[in-house]
């Protein structure tokens, strides 16, 4: 393992890896030597993202996957093992766009759909991957939650509750799995330049960020790559708030 490729020989599974932050995570983990298994609801875009990694000299495979479906999560784990021989890193990045309705106006289907992706999916996938993580020399599980999983802004109840659930699951799994050497952490992004922040909302979001700009996907990926590396070998059960200082002012 070289300094330029600290993740060489490791296999990373990234959900929602076809676009935005997920694609950025895949690209950086690949640059640092990991083999990538990425999934997305849009299988064509997922295949394109994997092909781009391979064209850049990396190793990657993709699948169309609904992480809210247990059988599809199990199939994704099987793909990783069949293709690359195991799993070392899980990045639970897949997510759905927030719904800004008041609680009494929140549709049941929206609530269940958000929990399916943000809470059920990470549980299904981690559970399916555990036998393989236990065989890894450096097992890592990384949840991509949200700053709204730490502080509720008073709307988007389904989104906030599901992202808070991710943090709770990450902390509980960190305690449960620490004796086995499986490290579990969460990243809580603020406003990042992705589809989650439409152009018409950028000025409103920037006004709440002390640094005065949106985050870039790559800036989140650096934290993900750190948590996947040996440099984070004594880090578990933590939530990394990457938000330009937004929560400092109590958003």
Question: What residue segments make up the domains of the chain, in order of their start?
Answer: 11-249
pLDDT band at residue 91 using 50, 70 and 90 as cut-offs: very high
Residue predicted with more confidence, 159 or 90: 90
Model confidence, pTM: 0.95
Q: How is residue 83 written in tokens?
A: 């293709």
CATH of domain 11-249: 3.40.50.720
Average pLDDT over residues 161-186: 97
Average pLDDT over residues 218-222: 97
Q: Cβ contacts of residue 66 below 8 Å, gap of 6+? A: 41, 72
Is 214 in contact with 208 (CB distance < 8 Å)? Answer: no
Q: What percent of the chain has pLDDT over 90?
A: 75
Residue predicted with more confidence, 160 or 144: 144
Residue predicted with more confidence, 173 or 160: 173
Query: Which range, 125-134, 159-168, 237-246, has the best average confidence (pLDDT)?
Result: 125-134
Average pLDDT over residues 49-56: 98
Lowest mean pLDDT among 54-63, 99-108, 118-127: 99-108
Direct distance between the N- and C-terminal alpha carbons of the chain, in angstroms, rounded to an integer: 42
pLDDT value, residue 208:
86
Average pLDDT over residues 26-53: 98
Judged on CB neighbours under 10 Å (0-12, 13-18, 19+), 198 is: exposed
Which residues are known catalytic residues? 159
Euclidean distance between CA atoms 90 and 185, whole angstroms:
11
pLDDT value, residue 4:
78
Euclidean distance between CA atoms 18 and 47, whole angstroms:
8
pLDDT value, residue 162:
92
pLDDT value, residue 210:
93
């Amino acid at each position: 393992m070289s300094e330029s490729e600290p993740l060489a020989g490791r296999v990373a599974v990234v959900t929602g890896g076809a676009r935005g932050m997920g694609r950025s995570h895949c690209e950086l983990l690949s640059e640092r030597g990991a083999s990538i298994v990425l999934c997305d609801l849009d299988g064509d875009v997922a295949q394109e993202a994997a092909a781009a990694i391979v064209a850049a000299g990396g190793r990657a495979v993709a699948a169309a996957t609904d992480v809210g479906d247990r059988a599809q999560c199990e199939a994704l784990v099987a793909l990783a093992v069949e293709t690359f021989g195991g799993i070392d890193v899980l990045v639970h990045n897949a997510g759905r766009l927030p719904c800004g309705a008041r609680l009494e106006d929140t549709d049941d289907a929206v609530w269940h759909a958000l929990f399916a992706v943000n809470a059920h999916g990470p549980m299904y996938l981690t559970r399916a991957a555990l036998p393989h993580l236990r065989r890894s020399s450096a097992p890592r599980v990384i949840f991509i939650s949200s700053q709204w999983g730490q502080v509720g802004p008073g709307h988007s109840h389904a989104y906030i509750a599901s992202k808070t659930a991710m943090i709770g699951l990450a902390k509980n799994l960190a305690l449960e799995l620490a004796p086995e050497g499986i490290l579990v952490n969460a990243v809580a992004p603020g406003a990042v330049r992705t589809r989650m922040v439409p152009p018409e909302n950028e000025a409103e979001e920037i006004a709440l960020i002390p640094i005065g700009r949106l985050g870039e996907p790559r800036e989140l990926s650096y934290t993900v790559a750190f948590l996947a590396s040996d440099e984070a070998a004594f880090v578990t059960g933590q939530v990394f708030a990457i938000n330009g200082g937004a929560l400092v002012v109590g958003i």
